[in-house]
Amino acid sequence: MSSLFDPVKAGDLALANRIVMAPLTRNRSPNAVPRDITATYYAQRASAGLLITEATAISQQGQGYSDVPGLYGTEQLDAWKKVTDAVHAKGGKIVVQLWHVGRVSHTDLQPDNGKPVAPSAIAAKTKTVLIKNGVPSFVDTSEPRALDASELPGIVHSYATAARNAVETAGFDGVEIHGANGYLLDQFLKTGSNHRTDDYGGSIQNRARLLLEVTRAVTDAVGGGRTGIRLSPVTPANDAHDEHPQALFDYVVKQLAPLNLAYIHVIEGATGGPRELEDRPFDYEALRAAYRQAGGKGAWMVNNGYDKSLAEEALKEGDDLVAFGKPFISNPDLVRRLREGATLNAWDKNTFYGGGEAGYTDYPALA
């Protein structure tokens, strides 16, 4: 029986333990460039088996929030190199989460203040964060325009370019494709946001096409063994909804199986909320079994509301990695604290988004 504290391989990534820092948006990168405090923040948490960065835009079109980082400019890549160097100096492993928000954006953040893009011209009933003069506010997302099919190869290309630059220039150990939480790829997957009548809408095969094209392009760019993907079958985050999630995600993981990915990262239930949703039942064990049955060898990473005992239970049941979110914000030494059964620092949600070192790099580690 393996424990949370035993090493494991996820594709090409040799991880010191099975505890993963989940991707966490922090809005501390003005002009989409990480600051030096970001290197400090991730390096403080380098004892995780794997760090997944906050969601990071692959293009300006992929931006949906103020002060979130990007991967599409030299300055951004150079700043990320300082982060990966700091993490590697502490013996850690770090992948960057590749993000295109799709319709979850605002004209203020888009190239030439244009409309955000989406599978269909349907606004998401959700908010984004705009920061003006250092003050964050939650505002409605803007009405999107439907992408023309001729624009999709350019988006696929942006993912592959961002992945290649992330590994070759910024020094990341790999990448995670953000296929979750109601952002672009999840918008294409799900019936609530995808009303297209072309090859990218309608059937499950068509709705999954963009996500699979992106994943193949990214694995071609950096290798399957350095690529993970995050999925959220039933989250209501950002107005996500699908009529038949079990069949949809069963198809998706079967198609992902031959790509030899490092890992599949699954958010169970509502992102950051309840693990069980009465109106959205889902069998995660069946999903993992479908992936394994299709020959999928990647590590199976689970996330959402885990504590130590639930995480140990998950490993017993066949999951390989457990991602912790908010506990990693307030506990830079979470791995040690879990191992020793130490008390965890509480998090302050007032400092989750925006600001500087307070609530970011100043949570104490054990002496």
Catalytic residue set:
183
Is 80:166 a contact under the CB 8 Å cutoff? yes
**Nearest of 246, 279, 120, 242 to residue 184 by alpha carbon:** 120
Shortest reach from residue 99's CB to ligand 8OZ, in Å: 6
Please give the Cα distance from 52 to 95 (Å, whole number): 5
**R_g (Cα) of the chain, nearest Å:** 19
Is 131:67 a contact under the CB 8 Å cutoff? yes
Amino acid at 354: G
Shortest reach from residue 64's CB to ligand 8OZ, in Å: 8
What's 56's DSSP letter?
Answer: E
Q: Using DSSP, state whether 129 is helix, strand or coil.
A: strand
Tokens linked to 344: 């965890």
For residue 347, with 0-12 CB atoms within 10 Å meaning exposed, 13-18 middle and 19 or more buried, which class applies? Answer: middle
Shortest reach from residue 181's CB to ligand 8OZ, in Å: 4
Nearer to ligand 8OZ, 25 or 304 (CB): 25
Please, which residues bridge with residue 323 across strands? 20, 303
Nearer to ligand 8OZ, 55 or 290 (CB): 55
Of the CA atoms within 13 Å of residue 324, those in its CB half-sphere come to 30
Shortest reach from residue 271's CB to ligand 8OZ, in Å: 6
Nearer to ligand 8OZ, 55 or 217 (CB): 55
Is 230:180 a contact under the CB 8 Å cutoff? yes
Nearer to ligand 8OZ, 16 or 58 (CB): 58
Nearer to ligand 8OZ, 221 or 237 (CB): 237
Which residues are near ligand 8OZ by CB under 6 A? 25, 55, 65, 181, 237, 271
Shortest reach from residue 117's CB to ligand 8OZ, in Å: 17
